[in-house]
Copies of this chain bind each other. A is one copy, B any other.
Amino acid sequence: MTTPPPRPALRADARRNAERLVSAAREVFAERGVDVPMDDIARAAGVGNATLYRRFPTRRALLQAVHRDEIDALHARSQELLAAPSPDEGLATWLRELAMQGSTSRSLATALMNALKDEGADVSWCRETMHAAAAALLDRAQRAGSVRGDITAGQVLKLVNAVAFATEGGPDAQRQADRLLTVVMDGLRSRD
């Protein structure tokens, strides 16, 4: 769950094509949005369109692959923050970093929304990695009594990603996301 999805042994050319597809998709998604035609991604990668489908059966799977490193980094960051002096600040810091990244990348916000809303097996790695990261920090803060107990990691993730998704694209997206996250964090903290 904390390790990326298996990388089956691929023939050298297949491996190279897969990497080109992910790189091309990253650029094209960023420039032209997440609804860009699949054929355009294949063309940008210099491979046939059927090769794209063979490697990434759904657009969501491709989106997940594009953001694999960021998702891994968010998970690693959550492990670091488990050592933060204040449990609720550890959680708040992680959620803020998540919201900041999502609010500046429609592509990432969409990848996370796909993984959090649907149950699809093609995005289970993303869903489980994010869930593990959030659950560890949330659980610690709840045990310390600084965050309300009547909420789950899945709900917190949906809420914060919804903030990112709703602010993305607008003017001043980061600032807006930050403002909304402050509201959410205040709501998450236990009442005295």
- Which residues of A come within 8 Å of B, CB atoms? 113, 116-117, 148, 150-151, 155, 158-159, 161-163, 165-167, 169-170, 176, 179-180, 182-188, 191
Q: Are A116 and B166 in contact (CB under 8 A)?
A: yes
Which of B116, B166, B188 is within 8 Å of A161, CB to CB? B166
CA distance A188 to B161 in the complex (A): 18
CA distance A78 to B158 in the complex (A): 27
Q: Are B151 and A158 in contact (CB under 8 A)?
A: no
Task: With CB as the reference atom, state the residue of chain B lying closest to A113.
Answer: B166
Q: Are A179 and B166 in contact (CB under 8 A)?
A: no
Q: Are B180 and A155 in contact (CB under 8 A)?
A: yes
A113, A161, A166, A186 pick with most chain B CB within 10 angstroms: A166
- Taking the closest CB of chain B, its distance from the CB of A175, in whole angstroms, is 11
**Can you spell out 20 A-B residue pairs with CB atoms less than 8 angstroms apart?**
A116-B166, A148-B183, A151-B179, A151-B183, A155-B176, A155-B180, A158-B167, A159-B163, A159-B166, A159-B183, A159-B184, A161-B166, A165-B165, A182-B187, A183-B188, A185-B187, A186-B186, A186-B187, A186-B191, A187-B187
Q: Are B159 and A180 in contact (CB under 8 A)?
A: yes
- Taking the closest CB of chain B, its distance from the CB of A190, in whole angstroms, is 10
Task: With CB as the reference atom, state the residue of chain B lying closest to A185.
Answer: B187
Residues of B within 8 A of A186 (CB): 186-187, 191
Task: With CB as the reference atom, state the residue of chain B lying closest to A150.
Answer: B179
Task: With CB as the reference atom, state the residue of chain B lying closest to A168.
Answer: B117
- Excluding A159-B184, A162-B166, 15 further A-B contacts by CB distance (< 8 Å) are A113-B166, A116-B166, A148-B183, A151-B179, A151-B183, A155-B176, A155-B179, A155-B180, A158-B180, A159-B163, A159-B183, A161-B166, A162-B163, A183-B188, A186-B191
